[in-house]
Amino acid sequence: MTTYEAVIGLEVHAQLLTHTKLFCGCATSFGSPPNTHVCPVCLGLPGALPVLNQKAVDLAIRTALALGLTVHETSVFSRKNYLYPDLPKGYQISQYDLPLATSGSLSIELEGGEVRVVRIRRIHIEEDAGKNLHGHGGDSIVDLNRAGTPLIEIVSAPDLRSGAEAALYLKALRDVLIFLGVNDGNLEEGSFRCDANVSLRPRGSNSLGIRCEIKNVNSFRFVQKAIEYEVMRQEQILASRGTLRQETRGWNERDGRTFSMRSKEEAEDYRYFPDPDLPPLRIAPEVIEAARTALPELPAPKRERYRRSLGLTPYAAGVLTIHPRIASFFEETLALLGGDASKIANFIQTEVLAGTTLRGLDASFPVAPWQVAELLRLVDDGTISGKQAKEVYAALVGTNASPEHVVKARGLGVLRDEAALEALCRTILDANPKQVAAYRGGKTALLGFFVGAVMKETKGSASPTLVNAILTRLLTGLSRTAGQRHRP
């Protein structure tokens, strides 16, 4: 039994989905040759002046409101001064004592179903640094394509208690950002990164212990592992009455350990001061209210609505809200077809998602919602069987053909010729006199046996509803005739 409790606070850096950088017109696109998206502003050349990207501000406001933060009418850009090759100006433009927004929260569902409210202290806007690339013919080079890319930093209170909780929080946060359309959620390309602050305290205590900050871990799994390792390391130090140092640590995935990088710098080391090139950022109350009104439905309330109002299972609700494009696909199909949401959800899960690829915020679907709606309508009205729907679906994939057209072209369609079906039903009944007698004797569950036989005979092309109706009529009709025969 451990006597210590882990205390974790996360600082997430999320790249805002703008086409251009925070203070200049350079492109933010990923993967170009080094130093091809640069200009005097993001190179930090003397005399170049920054101009704030309005789109970045809009996206930051949207995020802050969605997470329940108060957006301030005035915030200030400051210079955070430090020397590093990937920082050409010698300072990073960030927000410090007057950030864009403060005091919000994000609720996460823990393993046992318990809901934990994680407080969010602040969200501020800042620019990204460049990237040092090592090993270019023995040299290191600096790539400044990323320098000046707009980021928001989302700082949580130290409300998380384990690596697993931290991973849940990060996933929930990424989902929210993706649904808001402010971030592409791409951890591999570094557009969603996190620093994890970890400390221990005696169980039951309310004070905060000495913390270590693990820098830039870029996968949910690694964050969890890094925190778990760090908790163990700190526990051992405390248990052996050693002293912890406040420091910045890195994560080495290869040996599964954190390692010391440097002692933690203090805010005063950065000599923050308001950037004289940028006026205070003023946001009118009407702008804030308009952004609040325009907020889209977030993943957690959406899941809840799918479960409560549409009657989906928790699993289906979860799958359909993995990505905003999947949710839209489902909602569009439902709007076109109406009726049973579970049936549509099932079809999307079993057929459509199998051929869907997700990449960041983009998704490519094998078919369109109108095709699914039309296909399911053909099943509903008995034109084709469920089995035939799969065949039609396979023919629709990658085309914009109409399901109805495919059905006609292939000569599909269920047998709906009542006279022909009735004749077939009679043959089946004649061939099974024992079962007919049993049915009439009260074993009505045998209806399924007769339906099955007819479906087999028609290779699944008969309308089950119609076959059901005909068989019931014949069986009850026959028993009535039989009864009449015994009357005097």
Binding site for ligand ADP (CB under 6 A): 7-11, 155-158, 197-199, 208-209, 211, 267
24 in contact with Zn ion (CB under 5 A): yes
* Sequence-separated (6 or more) residues with CB below 8 Å from residue 313: 307, 342
> Coil, strand, or helix at residue 294?
coil
Per-residue mark of binding to Zn ion, 42-81 (x: CB under 5 A): x---------------------------------------
Residue 212 touches which of Zn ion, ligand ADP, none (CB < 5 to 8 A by kind)? Answer: none
**Cα–Cα distance measured from residue 322 to residue 320, given in angstroms and rounded to the nearest whole number:** 6
Give the pairing type, strands 273-274 and 77-81.
antiparallel
Residue number, 34 or 460, with CB nearest to Zn ion: 34
Minimal distance in Å, beta carbon 121 to Zn ion? 31
> Coil, strand, or helix at residue 433?
helix
The Cβ of residue 450 has, within 10 Å, a number of other Cβ atoms equal to: 23
Residue 26 touches which of ligand ADP, Zn ion, none (CB < 5 to 8 A by kind)? Answer: Zn ion
What's the start-to-end Cα distance of the chain, in Å? 88
> Coil, strand, or helix at residue 451?
helix
Identified binder of Zn ion from the candidate list 26, 66, 166, 172, rule CB under 5 A: 26
Residue number, 277 or 417, with CB nearest to Zn ion: 277
> Coil, strand, or helix at residue 141?
strand
Q: What are the structure tokens assigned to 99, written together?
A: 């950030």
Residue number, 155 or 298, with CB nearest to ligand ADP: 155
Residue 42 touches which of ligand ADP, Zn ion, none (CB < 5 to 8 A by kind)? Answer: Zn ion
**Cα–Cα distance measured from residue 282 to residue 141, given in angstroms and rounded to the nearest whole number:** 38
Give the pairing type, strands 273-274 and 4-15.
unpaired
Where do runs of H (alpha helix) occur along 195-259?
Answer: 220-239
Minimal distance in Å, beta carbon 36 to ligand ADP? 33
Residue 11 touches which of Zn ion, ligand ADP, none (CB < 5 to 8 A by kind)? Answer: ligand ADP
39 in contact with Zn ion (CB under 5 A): yes
Q: How many residues bind Zn ion (CB under 5 A)?
A: 5
Give the pairing type, strands 273-274 and 281-282.
unpaired
Residue number, 74 or 205, with CB nearest to ligand ADP: 205
Residue number, 28 or 156, with CB nearest to ligand ADP: 156
> Coil, strand, or helix at residue 441?
coil
Residue 24 touches which of Zn ion, ligand ADP, none (CB < 5 to 8 A by kind)? Answer: Zn ion
147 in contact with Zn ion (CB under 5 A): no
Binding footprint of Zn ion on the chain (CB under 5 A): 24, 26, 39, 41-42
